[in-house]
Chains A and B, each alone.
Chain A
Amino acid sequence: DIVMTQSPDSLAVSLGERATINCKSSQSVLYTSNNKNNLAWYQQKPGQPPKLLIYWASARGSGVPDRFSGSGSGTDFTLTISSLQAEDVAVYYCQQYFSIPLTFGGGTKVEIK
């Protein structure tokens, strides 16, 4: 099984400042046939279902603001919120869809400092 490890578990960032969340997979999730990383990021606000933010490690989901960006390849990935807004308070999860079983990171809680 591919283990997804997120860090930190939580972080507090001032409004307008940058938030950075890391995700490390225990094996590479890079498909060499198409050179795409099978890695997604989701945002879950309290009392709501998750929402897709980023897929293929760096492609933004439909309607996702451009302050959210994803980067990385192979086993190391980052989600960056360039200028934190109040509505970005949520838990963020990474997920690999490279192999079964599909696995999620433990989540990172983002709060306002």
Chain B
Amino acid sequence: EVQLLESGGGLVQRGGSLRISCAASGFMFSSCAMSWVRQAPGKGLEWVSTISDGGDSTNYADSAKGRFTISRDNSKNTLFLQMNSLRAEDTAIYYCAKSDGYNYDSSFDVWGQGTMVTVSS
């Protein structure tokens, strides 16, 4: 069964840092692009970042550029998002999503359950 399991969310102070993870199983992790998509409470979906299958190409939303870093460890089937200089507006559920392809130009065919990140002011 294809599964994505996020972890590492929690409460952090404004300006602080947090690293969230996504453990993948049930598919060839190293052959798929992976992404983070977030959803603020009661709001819609917002793409945050995508990393290519091999990790050599990354893309970020403007809201994440310079503060967030996406990475992956294909030997451990794990995706990461390092978040620095956190702001109140970063408060959201962060979903890990698998792409149906090796780069950003494919749909998200599997989603994790999400991990909640709350930034307190």
Query: Which chain A residues border B95 with CB–CB below 8 Å?
Result: 49-50
Assuming the A-B contacts A101-B62, A102-B47, A104-B45, are A50 and B105 also in contact, with contact meaning beta carbons closer than 8 angstroms in the complex?
A: no
Contact partner of B47 (CB less than 8 A), chosen from A38, A52, A101, A106, is: A101
Assuming the A-B contacts A40-B107, A55-B100, A97-B104, are A49 and B112 also in contact, with contact meaning beta carbons closer than 8 angstroms in the complex?
A: yes
B36, chain A: closest CB distance, angstroms:
11
A36, chain B: closest CB distance, angstroms:
10
Q: A21-63 CB contact bits vs B (8 Å, 1 = yes)? A: 0000000000000000010101010000111100110000110
Interface size class of B (residues with CB under 8 A): 20 to 34
Q: Which of B62, B105, B107 has the most CB of A within 10 A?
A: B107
Of all chain B residues, which has the CB nearest A107? B44
A106 x B111 contact (CB < 8 A): no
Assuming the A-B contacts A100-B59, A101-B61, A101-B62, are A50 and B46 also in contact, with contact meaning beta carbons closer than 8 angstroms in the complex?
A: no
Query: Which chain A residues border B113 with CB–CB below 8 Å?
Result: 49
B3, chain A: closest CB distance, angstroms:
12
Bound Cα distance from A56 to B113, whole angstroms: 24
A64, chain B: closest CB distance, angstroms:
11
B82, chain A: closest CB distance, angstroms:
19
Assuming the A-B contacts A50-B95, A55-B100, are A103 and B47 also in contact, with contact meaning beta carbons closer than 8 angstroms in the complex?
A: yes
Is B106 an interface residue when CB atoms closer than 8 A count as contact? yes
Is A77 an interface residue when CB atoms closer than 8 A count as contact? no
Interface residues, chain B, with chain A CB atoms under 8 Å away = 35, 37, 44-47, 50, 59, 61-62, 95, 100, 104-114
Interface residues, chain A, with chain B CB atoms under 8 Å away = 38, 40, 42, 44, 49-52, 55-56, 61-62, 93, 95, 97-98, 100-107
